[in-house]
Amino acid sequence: MINRILIRIKVLQIVYSYYQNGNGDLKVAENELLFSLQKSYDLYHYFLLLIVEITNLQKRLLDIRKNKYMPTEAELNPNTRLIDNRFAAQVEQNEFLQKHVAEQGISWSNDEDFIKSVLDLILNSDLYAEYLDNKEDSYEIDKEFWRMVFKKIICNNTTIEDYLEDKSIYWNDDVEIIETFILKTIKKFDEEAGNKQPLLPMFKDMEDKNFAIQLFRQSILKGKEFRERINKHMKNWETERIANMDLIIMQVALAEIMSFPTIPTSVTLNEYIDAAKYYSTPKSGTFINGILDSIVNELKKEKLLLKD
């Protein structure tokens, strides 16, 4: 589930933090990287659990209204299609979700106001009205409803994203990426799988986990060597005016270029130039592209880089 785009972002963040903290403890920083990646995987489960919490909150609210003094006819006989949603029930019963929630202590128990705000967004949406009006009643309709809730109401909702980023500092750059994995997961759900529906693994394979660890280690262990080469190619630039994040991005990019022969150089360059647009200055992408391109050509001339 944790793809290489997210891994690169996390490595950039930890390398930056490593130099900012100045304690020079590689193992501590590496553990922080793995913890940060674990928190991304937790967020994936938080989103799935959100479906359960929203459903259960609606159940509680309907029960409260039904049992109040002199309830209305509508309160006594509410539309229960949302709380009877088969897909939501399947998510709640999913043994992999339950296991992760128990092991990691994941809970929305202190976030009822937030859950209520998301529930209100859903109940007041055209999407919900269309769901209630749909004459077809099936698992697939229930599943598609929640897929569209995420796609149209939850994903890219700045209020929701801001809340999640405030909930954990580790989620500052994760939310949009993890949302795409939730949409993929919902699409993969099958009614026949019941509570054993597989969820996405933390890493696609051990190769991706090793990529994260090795990229971080090489960025630090060969950092001085990479910085010297970068500095040599910045002779026409005023060093003190260059954003520190630009240097970190180039350092990590060189670690990837030099350490992973199967990853095309062009792929690496594009990934870190894109990262610069989000994590540094508006002009950083052009600057980083120019410096790295010059370094790559030099490495090829020196026969230190043999891949394209």
Q: pLDDT band for 132, please (50, 70, 90 cuts).
A: very high
Q: Is the pLDDT of residue 192 over 90?
A: yes
CA-wise closest residue to 90 among 178, 15, 19, 196: 196
How far apart CA 50 and CA 88 sit, in angstroms, is: 10
Q: pLDDT band for 223, please (50, 70, 90 cuts).
A: very high
Query: What is the pLDDT at residue 56?
Result: 97
Query: What is the pLDDT at residue 280?
Result: 85
Q: pLDDT tens across 96-106, in order?
A: 999 999 999 99
Handedness of CA 157, 162, 167, 171 (dihedral sign): positive
Q: Is the pTM here over 0.85, yes or no?
A: yes
Q: Is the pLDDT of residue 28 over 80?
A: yes
Query: What is the pLDDT at residue 103?
Result: 97
CA-wise closest residue to 93 among 150, 48, 128: 48
3-state helix, strand, coil in the chain (%, to 5): 75, 0, 25
How far apart CA 164 and CA 170 sit, in angstroms, is: 10
Query: What is the pLDDT at residue 129?
Result: 97
Residue written as token pair 């993969």: 188
Handedness of CA 289, 291, 294, 298 (dihedral sign): negative
Handedness of CA 207, 212, 215, 220 (dihedral sign): negative
Structure token pair of residue 60: 């509680």
Residues 117, 89, 62, CA angle at the centre, nearest 5°? 50
Query: What is the pLDDT at residue 240?
Result: 53
Q: pLDDT band for 31, please (50, 70, 90 cuts).
A: very high
Query: What is the pLDDT at residue 39?
Result: 96
Query: What is the pLDDT at residue 125?
Result: 97
